[in-house]
Amino acid sequence: MNVCVIGTGYVGLVTGACLARLGHRVLCIDNNEAKVALLQQGQSPIHEPGLPEILQEAIAAGTLLFSTDLAAGVHHGEVIFVAVGTPSLPDGQTDMRYLHAVATGIGHHIDDRYRVIVNKSTVPIGSGDWLRTVAIDALKTSGNPHVPNFEVVSNPEFLREGSAVYDTFHPDRIVLGGNSERALAIMQDLYRDIVHRKYAEDPTLPPVPVVVTDLNSAETIKYAANAFLATKISFINEIANICERVGADVREVAHGIGLDSRIGSKFLRAGIGWGGSCFGKDVSALIRTATDYGYRAELLESCVRVNHNQRLVAIEKLQQVLKILKGKTIGLLGLTFKPDTDDMRDAPALTLIERLVELGAKVKAYDPIVSQSGMRDGFTNVVVETDAERLADGCDALVLVTEWAQFQTLDYPQMATLMNQPILIDGRNFLQRQILENAGFKYMGVGC
Ligand SMILES: NC(=O)c1ccc[n+]([C@@H]2O[C@H](COP(=O)([O-])OP(=O)(O)OC[C@H]3O[C@@H](n4cnc5c(N)ncnc54)[C@H](O)[C@@H]3O)[C@@H](O)[C@H]2O)c1
């Protein structure tokens, strides 16, 4: 099938590359010229395991092309995916300007061959209909002589950064929302090989469930899924805070409750809170939508508040052991919001850096993927070291912020000798207390 993907970020690029791997002919469009130039040379602008290999394979096979030319993309795609960013505005509303620009562009360039426009961006409920209206208005006002002949389908994305390629070929479910049987049938055809596990590690697995529903329900499924996951983490973090006060171990508690099949063991690791490009903005957007419709989403408001406070638990622990932080040097192990990605959007590390600097501490960091040049403006007072031993050198305490696998095997005995005070706050309960204590560290976890 001829497919166009507009927006080649974490979602669009992985979607485009994986669809090309399935044999579809994919043209990816982005208005960022530098990104497109890099992609045309076969290089990935993001860190995502497995992506470079499928990119290069599909480019070599001629099934994956990149361009900045939206008109060419709209002309090419029988199915046109929209995967541009939908960040939060300061009041929690969703910034729809990128989606508006794309819908307008589609309206300008579309002809009267039948098309399915697929919304993969996470959008406020009702945006499918809105996208159709914006595109049709643009078509009519731009002098485009063609008659609108397209349908909109909502196909929310559930991939996890760090395992996005795996998740695309092994989804828990595929959600398709729309009112047109023809459009929904085309989408089922597009995903046929994924549904039937043709590219799965275990092709004998049963087919991937496909949830076919209306537009509003599909859009709500995405928000509800992220809101549930964020709430589950905030829940265990709240339990961790209680555990600390009563002398229980949250890891034991999480294990004990996670074995209950009604609860499940995933997303029950206590720590210094969730982050990333999705949870914060999606929960805020759902709270905002509820408010717009006269409902106060109090549970979701608490979920956000618990997370905000949880990020500062590491600071409280530092203050407990070091007392005054002014003039102290704190080292952060990890910067990205989770391992195996280079994404720093809404990373808890950013909150920690900001607060530590406010309190007069010097902040250093080491991350396997983020370099000094990768840090955003406004955090120039963070020194990003090139390895963990340089990080430890001269620190009064370390805080493990991101559970990168390689942090399990660092030379902690050597690091302890380089520090002013060998203290480690494990913000992800990722390391083993005994190993750290044997290495000479004072070790503090979260809720244990
Ligand atoms: N990142 C995730 O893990 C994830 C998971 C599920 C859903 N989502 C949702 O998917 C959407 C995309 O997220 P992302 O993380 O890939 O965003 P991103 O910021 O990484 O990528 C967006 C891309 O769109 C491009 N773009 C913006 N305006 C454009 C235009 N007018 N024409 C062409 N290209 C344009 C940008 O240059 C950028 O490359 C968001 O709605 C997000 O909420 C993200």
- Smallest CA-to-CA distance from 28 within 55, 46, 52 is with 55
Nearest CA to ligand 1 atom 43: 122
Is pLDDT above 60 for 378? Answer: no
Q: Encode pLDDT of 216-267 as tens digits.
A: 999 999 999 999 999 999 999 999 999 999 999 999 999 999 999 999 999 9
Residue owning tokens 């099949």? 261
Fold of 2-213: Rossmann fold (3.40.50)
* Ligand 1 atom at minimum distance from 123 CA: 41
- Select from 14, 97, 157, 219 the residue to mutate for testing ligand 1; criterion: most ligand atoms less than 8 Å from CB: 157
Ligand 1 mean position, distance from CA 8 (Å): 7
Q: Tokens representing 382?
A: 């963070």
Is pLDDT above 80 for 144? Answer: yes
* Ligand 1 atom at minimum distance from 35 CA: 39
Q: Encode pLDDT of 320-351 as tens digits.
A: 999 999 999 999 999 999 999 999 999 999 99
Q: Is 18 a catalytic residue?
A: no
Ligand 1 mean position, distance from CA 155 (Å): 14
**In the prediction, which pLDDT does 377 show?**
54
Nearest CA to ligand 1 atom 27: 84
Residue 381: band (very low, low, confident or very high) from pLDDT cuts 50, 70, 90: confident
* Ligand 1 atom at minimum distance from 12 CA: 16
Nearest CA to ligand 1 atom 20: 9
* Ligand 1 atom at minimum distance from 278 CA: 43
* Ligand 1 atom at minimum distance from 46 CA: 20
Fold of 312-444: Rossmann fold (3.40.50)
**In the prediction, which pLDDT does 200 show?**
83
β partners of residue 5: 28, 81
- Select from 11, 15, 278, 281 the residue to mutate for testing ligand 1; criterion: most ligand atoms less than 8 Å from CB: 11
Ligand 1 mean position, distance from CA 87 (Å): 9
Q: Specify the CATH class of 222-309 in words.
A: mainly alpha
Whole-model pTM? 0.95
* Ligand 1 atom at minimum distance from 84 CA: 24
Ligand 1 mean position, distance from CA 99 (Å): 10
The CATH 3.40.50.720 portion of the chain extends over: 2-213, 312-444
Query: Residues 444, 446, 448, CA angle at the centre, nearest 5°?
Result: 75
The CATH 1.10.1040.10 portion of the chain extends over: 222-309
Nearest CA to ligand 1 atom 37: 32
Q: Encode pLDDT of 62-83 as tens digits.
A: 999 999 999 999 999 999 999 9
Nearest CA to ligand 1 atom 28: 98
Catalytic residue among 4, 18, 28, 278: 278
Ligand 1 mean position, distance from CA 6 (Å): 9
Residue owning tokens 């499918």? 128
Three-state secondary structure string covering the chain:
CEEEEECCCHHHHHHHHHHHHCCCEEEEECCCHHHHHHHHCCCCCCCCCCHHHHHHHHHHHCCEEEECCHHHHHHHCCEEEECCCCCECCCCCECCHHHHHHHHHHHHHCCCCCEEEEECCCCCCCHHHHHHHHHHHHHHHCCCCCCCCEEEEECCCCCCCCCHHHHHHCCCCEEEECCCHHHHHHHHHHCHHHHCCCCCCCCCCCCCCEEEECHHHHHHHHHHHHHHHHHHHHHHHHHHHHHHHHCCCHHHHHHHHHCCCCCCCCCCCCCCCCCCCCHHHHHHHHHHHHHHCCCCCHHHHHHHHHHHHHHCHHHHHHHHHHCCCCCCEEEEECCCCCCCCCCCCCCHHHHHHHHHHHCCCEEEEECCCCCHHHCCCCCCCEEECCCHHHHHCCCCEEEECCCCHHHHHCCHHHHHHHCCCCEEEECCCCCCHHHHHHCCCEEECCCC
Ligand 1 mean position, distance from CA 32 (Å): 12
**In the prediction, which pLDDT does 203 show?**
82
Q: Is 376 exposed, middle or buried (0-12, 13-18, 19+ CB in 10 A)?
A: exposed
Q: Tokens representing 209?
A: 């469930």
**In the prediction, which pLDDT does 376 show?**
61
Ligand 1 mean position, distance from CA 277 (Å): 10
Ligand 1 mean position, distance from CA 79 (Å): 18
Q: Tokens representing 435?
A: 């190993």
Distances (CA, A) of 101 to 4, 123, 131, 278, 336: 16, 14, 10, 21, 30
Q: What is the largest CA-CA distance in the chain?
A: 75
Nearest CA to ligand 1 atom 6: 157
Pocket around ligand 1 at a 6 A CB cut-off: 6-12, 29-32, 35, 83-86, 98, 101-102, 121-122, 157, 159, 161, 277-278
**In the prediction, which pLDDT does 46 show?**
95
Least confident among 27-31, 203-207, 383-387: 203-207
Ligand 1 mean position, distance from CA 380 (Å): 26
- Smallest CA-to-CA distance from 325 within 272, 396, 380 is with 396
Nearest CA to ligand 1 atom 38: 9
- Smallest CA-to-CA distance from 317 within 448, 440, 444 is with 444
Buried b (16+ CB within 10 A) or exposed e, 125-137: bebbebbbebbbe
* Ligand 1 atom at minimum distance from 158 CA: 6
Nearest CA to ligand 1 atom 41: 121
Check if the beta carbon of residue 369 is closer than 8 Å to that of residue 47. yes
Mean pLDDT value across the chain: 96
- Select from 4, 84, 345 the residue to mutate for testing ligand 1; criterion: most ligand atoms less than 8 Å from CB: 84
* Rounded CA separation 14/64 (Å): 12
